[in-house]
């Protein structure tokens, strides 16, 4: 099941970034040193609830999150004032990625509903799930900028 | 301003992307962050189309759509659903709600414009603004012809204008070019290989971005079948080869509805002066006639009640001049406007030969014309 999700995550991230930002995201082996380099990060999260329940976080460094925002909105860096626009853009990117995954899951007979996006910011935070939760970590890059995707899922009744 | 497009989405990002997508078009973008706000905007603004998100807090897209469909006034407003969820069941559910179309996020901006453009009439801002453009404004002319000599001829013919010419040899290049930058007018050769001139025209007319652009066909003068076919296709006009540059300029002027009135009409010393150029031709006569009534009425409206008709630069008086002069005089009489004619010796003597113009009184200079009009004015009181 997790492997299936991994493929879904990869295709969703690549498609959303290509369509909305014209960015070719390449999958990379997850590297903790790059992910936890002390830089300020912005994480957009969207949960899904149904036959499958879980959450997907997309993280990017503050500069990359700003670049995503400026590209998405067609603005110059000076026009992106404060954090609100970046938060909204990262939330919407997460929403599109998880929406893409949700549609594929629904087609496979696993309907679910999505939560409203939320955003977390910080320089040194980690996401810790309860021990029974399954998950995976993914890293993508585009021109030396990195995107991290963390996927967490509650085991299904059958798995539990 | 054009049609009103309402985007209802809780994400400001999506609303900004939608607004950006429609920026090149003459339309008004209205925004709402949820269904409740959306319904209020619908009631207040009566949009021409709604782009509606599916999942929103407070009131989601489904509930808003249901309420819209039960409102007698709003039920006919077309709705395009925008959703991040593209599962088969979701798509079927959306279709049952009576939406005109739906789009799946992520989406390309061009796609949303194309879909909305199928439902409402979108006009490029440049197309709308062209109505206010003047002949002496900078214009961007795209020429699609694989004959370099034609491009050279057109380019050199426009050196007395601020018009710039960009030449491309292939239809495909023109499509790519217009996706980046829209010209003011396109000239397409009908002799491009494999009917690609016609195919290019059809592609431009099918695209929301280019459907309103004037497209003139270029064909050899004797190729009458091509002319007829171009007319059937709906080309804005036909330019015949060999190219008569003055005719080309005239056709572009007409196609873009360029304002040329400043070339003939001016306000000077409290008078309206209509000056006819030395190169007076049927086309010029037609051009002046087009503006005559509007310019004279405009002057009267702003308190000017005297017109100087300056024929001083003309070398002869022909039927076009006489018709124009008679039209101007008749208009002055209708509006109780005083007028005077300035004419060269040739024009004065030739006008004596025609029944309609034998009584026309001319003066030789503008100063003389002012003197006569000023002398006449007290008698009007």
Which pairing describes strands A41-50 and A112-114: parallel, antiparallel, or unpaired?
A: antiparallel
Task: Report the number of distinct structural domains present in chain B.
Answer: 3
d(C-alpha B271, C-alpha B368), whole Å: 13
Intervals of chain B under pLDDT 70: 1, 85-87, 126-132, 376-381
Q: Are residues B181 and B91 in the same domain?
A: no
- B88 and A107 within 8 Å at the Cβ level: the answer is yes
Between positions 15 and 34 of B, the ones with CB within 8 A of A are 16-17, 20
- A85 and B104 within 8 Å at the Cβ level: the answer is no
Contact B175, B203 (CB under 8 A): yes
- Residue B381 confidence (pLDDT): 26
Predicted-complex ipTM score: 0.81
- Residue A128 confidence (pLDDT): 66
Q: Are residues B18 and B107 in the same domain?
A: yes
Residues of A in contact with B107 (CB under 8 A): 19-20
**Domain end position, chosen among B91, B119, B147:** B119
B58 touching A (Cβ < 8 Å): no
**DSSP type of residue B262:** G
- Residue A26 confidence (pLDDT): 92
Lowest mean pLDDT among A65-69, A128-132, B307-311, B312-316: A128-132
- Residue A131 confidence (pLDDT): 65
Residues of B in contact with A117 (CB under 8 A): 11
Task: State the average pLDDT over residues A98-108.
Answer: 86
**DSSP type of residue B183:** -
Confidence band, pLDDT 50/70/90 cuts, at residue A89: very high
Q: Are residues B10 and B66 in the same domain?
A: yes
Domain interval for residue B173? 127-255
Confidence band, pLDDT 50/70/90 cuts, at residue A50: confident
- Residue B379 confidence (pLDDT): 37
**Domain end position, chosen among B233, B255, B277:** B255
Q: What is the CATH number of the domain that holds B167?
A: 3.40.50.2300
A89 touching B (Cβ < 8 Å): yes
- Residue A47 confidence (pLDDT): 92
Size of interface A-B (CB pairs under 8 A): 69
CATH match for A2-154 among 3.40.470.10, 2.40.50.500, 3.40.1550.10, 3.30.70.100: 3.40.1550.10
Q: Which residue is closest to A17 within chain B, CA to CA?
A: B106
Q: Are residues B113 and B131 in the same domain?
A: no
Contact B364, B312 (CB under 8 A): yes
Q: Are residues B142 and B251 in the same domain?
A: yes
A50 touching B (Cβ < 8 Å): no
Tokens linked to B83: 């959703």
- B83 and A99 within 8 Å at the Cβ level: the answer is yes
Picking from A83, A89, A59, A49, the residue whose alpha carbon sits closest to that of residue A71 is A89
Residue A141 phi, psi dihedral angles, 5° rounding: -140, 155
Q: Are residues B31 and B139 in the same domain?
A: no
- A91 and B11 within 8 Å at the Cβ level: the answer is yes
- Residue ranges per structural domain of chain A: 2-154
Say how many C-beta atoms besides its own lie within 10 A of residue B277's C-beta.
Answer: 13
Three-state secondary structure call for residue B248: helix
Q: Are residues B171 and B188 in the same domain?
A: yes
Distance, in angstroms, between B20 CA and closest chain A CA? 8
- Residue B380 confidence (pLDDT): 35
Q: Which of A92, A104, A106 sits opposite B14 (nearest CB)?
A: A92
Picking from B60, B69, B68, B3, the residue whose alpha carbon sits closest to that of residue B33 is B60
CB environment B161-200: b (16+ within 10 A), e (fewer): eebebbbbbebeebbebbeeebbbbbbbbbbbeeebbbeb
A99 touching B (Cβ < 8 Å): yes
Instruction: Sort A65 into a burial class: Cβ within 10 Å, 0-12 / 13-18 / 19+.
Output: buried
- B84 and A15 within 8 Å at the Cβ level: the answer is no
Element (H, E) at B245: helix B245-255
Q: What is the CATH number of the domain that holds B345?
A: 3.30.750.24
Q: Are residues B292 and B370 in the same domain?
A: yes
pLDDT in tens, A12-44: 999 999 999 989 999 988 888 777 777 888 999
Q: Are residues B371 and B271 in the same domain?
A: yes
Q: Are residues B34 and B152 in the same domain?
A: no
Task: State the average pLDDT over residues A72-97.
Answer: 88
- B86 and A85 within 8 Å at the Cβ level: the answer is no
Q: Which of B20, B89, B108 sits opposite A111 (nearest CB)?
A: B89
Q: Are residues B114 and B97 in the same domain?
A: yes
B93 touching A (Cβ < 8 Å): no
- B20 and A74 within 8 Å at the Cβ level: the answer is yes
- Residue A83 confidence (pLDDT): 86
A12 touching B (Cβ < 8 Å): no
**Domain end position, chosen among B119, B146, B176:** B119
- Residue A116 confidence (pLDDT): 85
């Amino acid at each position: 099941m997790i492997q299936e999700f991994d493929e879904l995550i990869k295709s969703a991230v690549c498609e959303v970034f290509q369509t909305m930002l014209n960015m070719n995201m390449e999958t990379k082996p997850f590297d903790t040193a790059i992910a936890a380099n002390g830089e300020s990060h912005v994480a957009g999260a969207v949960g899904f609830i149904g036959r499958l329940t879980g959450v997907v976080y997309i993280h990017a460094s503050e500069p990359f999150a700003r670049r995503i925002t400026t590209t998405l909105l067609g603005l110059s860096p000076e026009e992106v004032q404060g954090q609100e626009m970046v938060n909204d853009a990262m939330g919407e990117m997460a929403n599109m990625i998880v929406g893409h995954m949700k549609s594929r899951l629904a087609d496979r007979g696993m309907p679910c509903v999505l939560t409203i996006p939320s955003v977390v910011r910080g320089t040194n935070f980690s996401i810790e799930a309860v021990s029974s939760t399954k998950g995976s970590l993914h890293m993508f890059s585009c021109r030396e900028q990195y995107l991290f995707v963390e996927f967490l899922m509650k085991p299904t009744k059958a798995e539990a | 301003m054009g049609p009103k497009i309402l985007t209802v989405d809780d994400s400001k990002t999506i609303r900004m992307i939608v607004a950006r997508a429609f920026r090149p078009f003459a339309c008004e973008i209205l925004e709402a962050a949820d269904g409740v706000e959306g319904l209020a905007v619908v009631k207040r603004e009566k949009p021409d189309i709604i782009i509606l998100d599916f999942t929103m807090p407070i009131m989601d897209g489904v509930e808003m759509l249901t309420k819209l469909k039960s409102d007698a006034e709003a039920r006919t407003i077309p709705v395009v659903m925008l959703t991040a969820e593209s599962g088969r069941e979701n798509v079927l559910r959306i279709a049952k709600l009576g939406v005109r179309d739906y789009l799946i996020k992520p989406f390309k901006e061009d796609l949303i414009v194309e879909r909305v453009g199928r439902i409402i009439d979108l006009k490029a801002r440049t197309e709308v603004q062209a109505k206010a453009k003047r002949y002496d404004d900078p214009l961007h002319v795209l020429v699609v012809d694989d004959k370099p000599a034609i491009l050279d001829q057109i380019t050199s013919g426009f050196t007395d204008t601020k018009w710039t010419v960009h030449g491309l040899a292939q239809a495909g290049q023109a499509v790519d070019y217009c996706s980046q930058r829209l010209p003011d007018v396109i000239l397409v050769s009908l002799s491009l290989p494999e009917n690609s001139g016609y195919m290019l025209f059809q592609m431009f007319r099918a695209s929301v971005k280019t459907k309103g652009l004037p497209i003139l066909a270029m064909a050899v003068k004797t190729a009458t079948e091509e002319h007829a076919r171009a007319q059937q296709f709906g080309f804005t006009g036909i330019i015949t080869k060999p190219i008569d540059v003055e005719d080309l300029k005239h056709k572009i002027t007409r196609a873009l509805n360029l304002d040329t009135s400043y070339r003939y009409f001016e306000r000077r010393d409290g008078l309206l002066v209509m000056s006819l150029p030395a190169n007076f031709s049927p086309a010029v006569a037609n051009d002046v006639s087009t503006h005559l009534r509007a310019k004279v009425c405009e002057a009267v409206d702003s308190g000017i009640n005297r017109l100087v008709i300056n024929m001083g630069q003309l070398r002869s008086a022909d039927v076009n001049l006489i018709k124009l002069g008679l039209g101007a005089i008749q208009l002055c009489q209708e509006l109780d406007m005083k007028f005077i004619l300035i004419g060269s010796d040739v024009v004065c003597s030739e006008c004596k030969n025609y029944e309609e113009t034998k009584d026309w009184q001319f003066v030789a200079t503008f100063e003389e014309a002012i003197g006569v009009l000023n002398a006449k004015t007290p008698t009007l009181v």
